[in-house]
Structure 1
């Protein structure tokens, strides 16, 4: 009996110290909450463990910002949770990537669209141009007018919710543009670059791209050879746009290294971001 009691006493502290199993969404909500999280390190690994050593991400975010977590996808070994930050003058999104270690989910990496801070100063500069300078700008940039450039910059740096709203508002034009690209069979040629150039040179496609504040249509952004990507913009390899793929089984996988988020918008359309 003594030995049984001794074993029980030794086992209880160890059992109490074991962190409870949490799902990715639960971990995300704890990690972005404004208060601290004593068990944080038990749920971090890899890159995230090296970045969040003393404070959670939530403690580093201004306390007045509202935080909303949304599970984007969860499979057997990976998961992605989108986090929306919203305040009176701020609206941002970032993405938490999870990996499974044994039976436990761990936060692996934190991602967002890079270099968007460059957009607002450019929008402010262009928006304050006098009419004569706007006309001069349009003469010098016949393929990307002043109105298109301002609209494109605003959409590039917009929150996910605003991009989704832009898509819903202009759904008919997005569908029309998609039909034109599909009917042209531009991406069935041996050279993807040749097909892409021909698709973007089609006057009707080009007009819709400009109307929707999109820079181009391609198949080279997300690593999906069967998807159509309508790029809004970005810098270097950090881009945002709308992707079309009717067959969910052919969608590319989200990873911290390339495709950081893929949010469904309905009817085979998705909002995507790369890094």
Structure 2
């Protein structure tokens, strides 16, 4: 009897641990692993279930890419996990959006959608063209495009199609300059709370030469308040095509930061001191 009790004492914690439903970060790690995942279908819903009928996302990603998962946000009903994919020459990010189904006791958290910044196909060939441009052509290009010269376009495109870590590093190197730009915008009262004047206010702000002189070294194409649906957020847009946008925004009040969703704001990452990285779809 004594040996049975000892055996139960050793096995019971393992059984209980195995019976615990997986949390979003654990699901993400299984889903992007290089090997398959036999329990995958129990933790997928919606479009994610339709996209991974036979293979997990990890099996569809090239095996040469390493994967690093990080829990970005987890609330009562939703969660977001970021996945950095990288090898010796490249780095990219995808975002896994989860929903909690309180009626599914065995697996309440389910992966609902996988997102990344879309419509970046033109970026790499544009970057290659600019990078290989001879000095004489660079001079001609700068004469024709004084507002978006060669150096600006190189830096801007690298941020647009690059990894989140690149934007993070860019902000860390230039945080004081970003803060000066935000302060300048606030002091000049470019933006009001009137929704019917948002387009005109944005146009006036981006036509201001002093502001452009502050934004140009930061590789920011424009400032806005229209992308995030947050009237008090000051958006510094790097670039994008149609609704697929990447940039930074300033919102010192954490309670006013908008929420992420797979339908609009696919990621918001805090950078510190009221600054955030964002991407939309």
TM-score, structure 2 as length reference: 0.89
Question: Alpha-carbon deviation of 1:189?
Answer: 6.0
Match in the other structure for 1:6: none
Unaligned runs of 5+ in 1: 1-14
Question: Alpha-carbon deviation of 1:236?
Answer: 1.3
Match in the other structure for 1:255: 261
Match in the other structure for 1:158: 162
* Equivalent residue pairs, number: 260
The answer as to whether partners of 1:19 and 1:42 remain within 8 angstroms in 2 is: no
Match in the other structure for 1:217: 223
Question: Alpha-carbon deviation of 1:116?
Answer: 2.1
Give the secondary-structure state (helix, strand or coil) at the position aligned to 2:191. Answer: helix
The answer as to whether partners of 2:85 and 2:92 remain within 8 angstroms in 1 is: yes
Cα deviations by residue, 1:127-152 (Å, 9 ceiling, x for unpaired): 22222221211121121111111111
Residue 149 of structure 2 is aligned with which of 137, 140, 145?
Answer: 145
Match in the other structure for 1:64: 64
Structure 1 residue 175 and structure 2 residue 185: aligned?
A: no
- Aligned pairs for 1:1-275 (under 5 A) are 20-102=20-102, 103=105, 104-188=108-192, 190=194, 191-275=197-281
Q: Distance in 2 between matches of 1:69 and 1:120?
A: 25
Cα deviations by residue, 1:165-199 (Å, 9 ceiling, x for unpaired): 00000111011101001111111163111211222
Question: Alpha-carbon deviation of 1:20?
Answer: 4.1
The answer as to whether partners of 2:67 and 2:86 remain within 8 angstroms in 1 is: yes
Q: RMSD of the alignment, in Å?
A: 1.7
Give the secondary-structure state (helix, strand or coil) at the position aligned to 2:213. Answer: helix
Match in the other structure for 1:3: none
Q: Distance in 1 between matches of 2:45 and 2:252?
A: 35
Give every structure 1 segment of 4 or more consecutive aligned residues whose post-TM-superposition deviation is greater than 3 Å: none
Question: Alpha-carbon deviation of 1:158?
Answer: 1.1
TM-score, structure 1 as length reference: 0.91
Q: Distance in 1 between matches of 2:125 and 2:20?
A: 46
